[in-house]
């Protein structure tokens, strides 16, 4: 790991120990709220984001900060996504965390010009640390990794139907699902992207593509040799906040196959 990776990992570990794990299976009445649309937030999310913001400011105070909870409180925060910025999901997988089960993690990305330049994914329970820098490969706990398909026939797909409209959902079930072995989604991007590169899943479809959920993972998967892109093949950009639809795959060939089916829906 380089010096920045070590500092980011230390920050993620310290925030996990200070603000996240003490609340795991220990949330009091009133510690969980619904931001709307079955989108929960807990006291751990808010406390962790505060600590992450402080820690990242100590690393580089000149970079803007875009956190999930800050953006919820002040949508103008999203204007910084086109700038040099940190992008943070303090507890990715909040739904799981609030229910008292895995997986959940911390996501941090550093973006410039609307594209992720570096990304870090931390699993709060296992301590797995994924890192990537544009053009320099993808790593797990400091060891370089290359994406590998599951090798299963049909390929394994984790497809999120949660944020699709009724028409999309039915078309996906009818036209795409029969071509794959379907598995449950983990409701956690910090888990889903590693599954795509480490031989567990082959492809995924994401409808909601918020920057704090996908900035780190898309870069990490691509640097591992997989592919993450919009269904039309255009790259994922963090500054396209209102855009939906994203396909991730363990290889470009698997991505092409799913994108073709997606286009035919």
Q: Report the pLDDT averaged over residues 157-166.
A: 86
The token duo for 100 is 């008292």
Task: Look up the pTM and report it.
Answer: 0.95
What's the N-to-C CA distance of the chain in angstroms? Answer: 43
Assigned superfamily of 3-144: Fructose-1,6-Bisphosphatase, subunit A, domain 1 (3.30.540.10)
State yes or no: 89 annotated in a binding site.
yes
Q: pLDDT band at residue 167, thresholds of 50, 70 and 90?
A: confident
Radius of gyration of the chain (CA): 17
Q: CATH 3.30.540.10: which residues of the chain?
A: 3-144
Q: CATH 3.40.190.80: which residues of the chain?
A: 156-263
Q: Which of 83, 93, 7, 96 is nearest to 52 (CA)?
A: 7
Q: Are 220 and 118 in contact (CB under 8 A)?
A: no
Q: pLDDT band at residue 164, thresholds of 50, 70 and 90?
A: confident
Q: How far apart are CA 265 and CA 263, in angstroms?
A: 6
State yes or no: 92 annotated in a binding site.
yes
Q: In this prediction, what percent of the chain has a pLDDT beyond 90?
A: 89
Model confidence over 19-53: pLDDT tens digits?
A: 999 999 999 989 999 887 778 999 999 999 999 99
Q: Are 75 and 98 in contact (CB under 8 A)?
A: no
Interstrand relation of 40-42 and 32-34 (parallel, antiparallel or unpaired): antiparallel
Q: Let me know if domain 156-263 sits in CATH 3.40.190.80.
A: yes
Q: How many helices (H) and strands (E) does the chain have?
A: 8, 14
Q: pLDDT band at residue 242, thresholds of 50, 70 and 90?
A: confident
CA separation (Å) from 21 to 29, 53, 54, 101? 17, 18, 19, 12
State yes or no: 256 annotated in a binding site.
no
Q: Report the pLDDT averaged over residues 91-120.
A: 97
Q: How far apart are CA 138 and CA 239, in angstroms?
A: 23
State yes or no: 213 annotated in a binding site.
yes
Q: How far apart are CA 179 and CA 169, in angstroms?
A: 15
């Amino acid at each position: 790991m380089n010096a920045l990776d070590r500092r980011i990992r230390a920050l993620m570990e310290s925030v996990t120990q200070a603000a996240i794990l003490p609340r795991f299976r220990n949330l009091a009445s009133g510690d969980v709220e619904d931001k709307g649309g079955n989108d929960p937030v807990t006291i751990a999310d808010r406390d962790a984001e505060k600590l992450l913001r402080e820690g990242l400011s100590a690393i580089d105070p000149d970079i803007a900060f875009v956190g999930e909870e800050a953006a919820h409180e002040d949508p103008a925060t999203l204007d910084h996504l086109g700038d040099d910025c940190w992008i943070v999901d303090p507890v990715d997988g909040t739904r799981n965390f609030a229910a008292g089960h895995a997986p959940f993690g911390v996501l941090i990305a550093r973006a410039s010009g609307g594209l992720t330049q570096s990304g870090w994914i931390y699993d709060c329970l296992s301590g797995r640390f994924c890192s990537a820098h544009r053009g320099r490969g993808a790593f797990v706990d400091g060891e370089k990794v290359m994406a590998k398909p599951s090798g299963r026939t049909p390929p394994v797909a984790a497809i999120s139907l949660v944020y699709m409209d009724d028409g999309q959902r039915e078309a996906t079930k009818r036209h795409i699902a029969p071509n794959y072995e379907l598995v449950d989604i983990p409701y956690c991007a910090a888990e889903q992207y590693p599954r795509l590169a480490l031989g567990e899943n082959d492809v995924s479809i994401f409808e909601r593509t918020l920057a704090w959920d996908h900035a780190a993972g898309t870069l990490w998967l691509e640097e591992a040799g997989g592919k993450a892109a919009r269904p039309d093949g255009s790259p994922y950009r963090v500054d396209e906040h209102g855009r939906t639809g994203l396909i991730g795959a363990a290889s470009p060939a698997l991505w092409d196959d799913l994108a073709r089916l997606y286009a035919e829906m």
